[in-house]
Structure 1
Amino acid sequence: MKELTERVRRFADERDWHRYHTPKNLAMALAGEVGELLAELQWLTPDEAATVMDDPDAAARLRSELADVQIYLVRLADVLGVDLIEASHAKIDVNEGRFPPDPPD
């Protein structure tokens, strides 16, 4: 994750985009990319969605949209000084307390 964060930061810095990369702008860009990801799946049936990666063209589009979502998320976290791995583990810790597993039958 550190390598990706540094690469995304370097990419933005080399283009002098840091002035546009405010938390608000990055969150809005992230939401837009999530919308594009949703558009790829929007009208698929559950069965079609479960096998969407079997279609090479659809799989390429989904990989691209997932990458866009991750890149904006990584950039937003970097600008805010959030360690995504640490934050994710902390959130899972909270969720484990909120949603205990069902006992076996």
Structure 2
Amino acid sequence: MTPQRLGFVAWAALVLLQPLWYFWLAPPANGKPLHALALTLPPLLLPLFALARPRRALLWIGIIALFYFCHGVVAAWAVPATRVPALLEAACCVALIGAIGWDTRQRKRAG
């Protein structure tokens, strides 16, 4: 698997995790999963505008993923009921950022 493909797979997993988290795995305590989804999903969809240039899209995704990594760590620490989806979110972010680093390292060696 290429680093770019791994990055896009991790991004897709992160996007799919959001509705699963808020509708099934650990719905919000206020009972309004659509509000939570409205806050978490749109930033992950912004890189769709850059898909014509895959490396640029991955850069955008990587920057956005840093915030989701922080969210996952804080949610896992603070709310025990969300520990599983929160750690999945953090793991997807680590895989995504690792794939970006791997891709960058490969390009430096090739160039």
Instruction: Give the TM-score taking structure 2 as reference length.
Output: 0.37
Please identify the structure whose Cα radius of gyration is greater: 1
Instruction: Give the TM-score taking structure 1 as reference length.
Output: 0.39
